[in-house]
Amino acid sequence: MKLTKGNVAFSGLEANLIKVIDAWQPPPLPTELRYRDALLDYLRANVPNDCRIEKEYRHNGTTIDLFLRWNGLLLNGDVFLEVKRNLNKKTTLDRLVGQIEGLEPGKRSIVIVLVGETDRTLLDRLRAKYRAFEDAQWDRPVAIVVK
């Protein structure tokens, strides 16, 4: 399966996961942790039962919000998910980029889910930073989903 988001094409596991996350309609929640938990519950209800989903997953000295391992007949792989609420300050962007860089983008599939208020300029900077990964110039994509 191939999914196009904007002008970026994703295939396989990432495409399916992005479709599931795109359909997620969270209510306004007071904290990032509440959004993370809501997304965790939503994913558990909408991916196959044999998927492994963990929160607060430690990897290479950093902690990522959610980790999904999908072992199916047609799709296999790991995806790291980071939820960020209110990307509206440069310091928030800098922390997010630091977390993502710790995961070694290009070696791993990463989905960044932005919720709450998202500053357009900071979103553009984030997309520019990871454009090469989104454009599939690397083995593993970095996808940015704005809710």
Write down the pLDDT at residue 32: 97
Domain that holds residue 69: 2-146
**Is the pLDDT confidence value at 105 over 90?**
no
| Contact call for residues 127 and 7 (beta carbons, < 8 A) | no
Domain count, the chain: 1
**Is the pLDDT confidence value at 101 over 60?**
yes
> For position 63, which CATH number holds?
3.40.1350
Helices (H), 80-139: 90-102, 120-129, 131-134
Please give the span between the terminal C-alpha atoms of the chain, in angstroms, as a whole number.
Answer: 23
Burial class (CB in 10 A: 0-12, 13-18, 19+), 141: buried
| Stretch 10-17: mean pLDDT | 69
Please report which confidence band the pLDDT of residue 60 belongs to, taking 50, 70 and 90 as the band edges.
confident
